Structure 1
Amino acid sequence: MANISKYMALKLMRELGIQSRMHKRYNKSKTTVDVAQRPNLIRYLADLSGVWQTDITYIQLTNKEWVYLASVYDPERRRVLGYKISDTMTAKLATDALQMALDNEPKPMFVHSDMGSQYTSAEFEIKLQHYGIKHSHSLKGHPYDNGRIEAFHSLLKREEVYAKQ
Structure 2
Amino acid sequence: MSSSSYFDARKRNYGAHYNEDESIIKDIEDIRNDPKMIDALSLGYRPLTQYINQKRVNRNESVINHKRVLRVMKQNGLLSSAYSRKTNKYNSFAGEGHKRHKNHIRQRFITDRPYQKLGTDVTEVRWGKQTTDERLFISLFCDFYSGEIVSYSISLHPTTKFVLESLYPVMELAKGVPYLTTIHSDQGIQYQSNKYQMILCRSNIRQSMSRKGTPYDNSPTESLIHKMKIGTVLNHNYATQAELVVAIKEWIYYYNHERIRQSNNWETPIGFRESYTSKNA
So what's the TM-score if we normalise by structure 1? 0.80
Which residue of 2 is the match for residue 147 of structure 1? 219
Query: How many Å apart are 1:100 and its aligned residue?
Result: 2.4
In 2, are the aligned partners of 1:92 and 1:123 still within 8 Å (CA)?
A: no
Output aligned runs, 1:112-131, within 5 Å.
Answer: 112-131=184-203
Q: Is the 8 A contact 2:136 2:154 kept in 1?
A: yes
CA shift, 1:41, in A, is 1.1
Q: After the TM superposition, which residues 37-48 of structure 1 pair with which residues of structure 2 at under 5 Å, given as runs? A: 37-43=100-106, 47-48=110-111
| 1:87 equivalent in structure 2 | 156
Is the 2:107–2:218 contact (alpha carbons within 8 Å) kept by the matching residues of 1?
A: no
Distance 1:86 1:52, change over 3 A: same
CA distance, structure 1, for counterparts of residue 88 and residue 190 of structure 2 = 22
Deviates more, 1:78-87 or 1:20-29: 20-29
One-letter amino acid of the structure 2 residue matched with residue 59 of structure 1 = V
- Root-mean-square deviation over aligned CA pairs: 2.8
Which structure is higher in RCO with an 8 Å CA cutoff and minimum separation 6?
Answer: 1
Aligned partner of 1:58 in structure 2 is 124
Q: Unpaired runs of 5+ in structure 2? A: 1-66, 238-281
- The verdict on how the C-alpha distance between 1:46 and 1:39 changes in structure 2, with shifts beyond 3 A counting, is same
Q: What is the percent sequence identity of the aligned residues?
A: 24
The size of the alignment, in residue pairs, is 158
Question: Could you tell me which residue of structure 1 aligns to residue 88 of structure 2?
Answer: 26
The structure whose residues are more often strand, as a share, is 1
1:72 aligned onto 2:141? yes
- Unaligned 5+ segments in structure 1 are none
User: Cα distance 1:27–1:128, how it changes in 2: closer, same or farther (>3 A)?
Assistant: closer
CA contact (8 A) 1:37 1:140 kept: no
Q: Which residue type is aligned with residue 117 of structure 2?
A: V
Residues 119 and 185 of structure 2 are in contact (CA less than 8 Å); yes or no, is this contact kept in structure 1?
yes
Q: Secondary structure at the match of 1:96?
A: helix
- TM-score of the aligned structures, taking structure 2 as reference length: 0.49
